Amino acid sequence: MRQEPALLRAEVAAAAAGGAATLMVLLRVDCLAFCHGLEFHHTGEDRGVFPAVEARHPEPAESLARRRRISTARRSSWPTC
């Protein structure tokens, strides 16, 4: 997946030079958009929602800490787009 942005740029350039956009281009665009949306969602949780909940309701701190560890571990395995 790390090479997807470069492949996408190459396919878009080929389509702009007179070729037709392929289904793969469309799928890659959709997949990259999904990945970016998921990253935005989880970053918002980690930086905004979880700290706000912890500040107002300290009781679930252990659960939120576990959720944050899981989120961080998963995110570290994601490809860089």
- Give the model's pLDDT for residue 31: 83
Average pLDDT over residues 56-61: 91
Residue 22 half-sphere exposure toward CB, CA atoms < 13 A: 12
Q: How confident is the model at residue 55 (pLDDT cuts 50, 70, 90)?
A: very high
Map tokens 């949306």 to a residue: 37
Q: Measured in Å, how far apart are the chain's first and last C-alpha atoms?
A: 8
